[in-house]
Amino acid sequence: MKTNIFIISLLIFTFFNKNIYAQCDAAPCNAGETQVDIHIETDSWGDETSWVIYDNTSGSAGCGISPWGTDCGAGTSTLSGWSTYDWSICYPTGDSITIYIVDDYGDGGAEYKITIEGVVVASGTQTGCVFIWTGTVINPSVVTAGDCSNAINICTDLNLQIDANGYGAVNEIPALGTIGNPDNNNPGGSGNMGCLRSSIPENNSTWMIVNISSTGNLEFNFGGTSQAGYYDWIMYPYDSTSCTDIPSGNVAPVRCNWNASSTGGTGLDDTLTGTQDAGNFEPALPVVCGEQYIICFSNYSSAITNVPLQFSGTAVVECTSLNCLGIATCDPTLGDSIYQDCIGAIPVCQNYLCQENSFSGTGTITTEINSGPSCLNSGEKNDAWYTLTVSQSGNLGFTIIPNNNTDDYDWAVYNLTNNICSEIFDTSSLEVSCNYSANIGCNGLTGPNGENVNCAGQNENVIPVIAGEKYVINIGNFSSSQTGYLLDFSASTAVISDDNIPVFSAFTSVPSLGDTSLTFNFSENVVCSTVQDCDFSLTGPEGTYSISEVTNSTCATGGNQANTFTIKVSPALTTIGLYNLNLNIDCGSVTDLCNNLADSGSLQFTIDTATQINSHDVTYIKMNIYPNPSSEIFIISYVIPEAGNVTINLYNINGKVVKQLFTQNQIAGTHSLSLNSKEIVEGVYLCLLTFENGSNMITNRKPIAIVK
Residue 569 CA: distances (Å) to CA of 64, 306, 541, 548: 74, 72, 14, 7
Helix-then-strand count for the chain, H and E = 2, 48
Domains of the chain: 4-133 (2.60.120), 142-317 (2.60.120), 338-488 (2.60.120), 504-611 (2.60.40.1220), 622-706 (2.60.40.1930)
Lowest-confidence range among 32-46, 53-67, 231-245?
53-67
Share above pLDDT 70 across residues of the chain, in percent, rounded to a whole number:
75
- Rounded to an integer, the average pLDDT of 95-100 is 68
> Is residue 139's pLDDT more than 70?
no
Residue 22 CA: distances (Å) to CA of 19, 26, 68: 10, 13, 16
Lowest-confidence range among 38-52, 403-417, 475-489?
38-52
- Rounded to an integer, the average pLDDT of 177-199 is 85
Phi, psi for 561 (deg, rounded to 5): -155, 150
**What's the Rg (C-alpha) of the chain?**
31
Taking the C-alpha atoms of residue 159 and residue 138, their distance in angstroms, rounded to an integer, is 8
> Is residue 504's pLDDT more than 60?
yes
Give the up-direction half-sphere exposure of residue 561: CA atoms within 13 A in the CB hemisphere.
26
> Is residue 220's pLDDT more than 70?
yes
Q: Residue 556 in contact with residue 565, Cβ under 8 Å?
A: no
Q: Residue 101 in contact with residue 40, Cβ under 8 Å?
A: yes
> Is residue 549's pLDDT more than 50?
yes
> Is residue 13's pLDDT more than 50?
no
Which H, E and C letters describe 487-528, residue by residue?
A: EECCCCCCECCCCCCCCEEEECCCCCCCCCEEEEEEEEEEEH
- pLDDT score of 17: 25
- Rounded to an integer, the average pLDDT of 367-378 is 91
- pLDDT score of 411: 95
Phi, psi for 47 (deg, rounded to 5): 55, 40
Taking the C-alpha atoms of residue 24 and residue 159, their distance in angstroms, rounded to an integer, is 25
Each residue of 613-636: pLDDT tens digit? 333 333 457 788 888 888 888 889
In three-state secondary structure terms, 32 is coil
- Rounded to an integer, the average pLDDT of 592-612 is 72
β strands within 49-110, DSSP E: 49-55, 63-64, 84-92, 96-103
- pLDDT score of 612: 38
Cα torsion angle, 106, 39, 97, 26, sign: negative
Taking the C-alpha atoms of residue 32 and residue 17, their distance in angstroms, rounded to an integer, is 6
- pLDDT score of 122: 62
pTM: 0.39
- Rounded to an integer, the average pLDDT of 159-168 is 66
Output the furthest CA–CA distance in the chain (Å, rounded).
Answer: 103
Give the up-direction half-sphere exposure of residue 630: CA atoms within 13 A in the CB hemisphere.
19
> Is residue 167's pLDDT more than 50?
yes
- Rounded to an integer, the average pLDDT of 474-485 is 86
Taking the C-alpha atoms of residue 470 and residue 629, their distance in angstroms, rounded to an integer, is 11
Banded model confidence at residue 412, pLDDT cuts 50, 70, 90:
very high
- pLDDT score of 690: 86
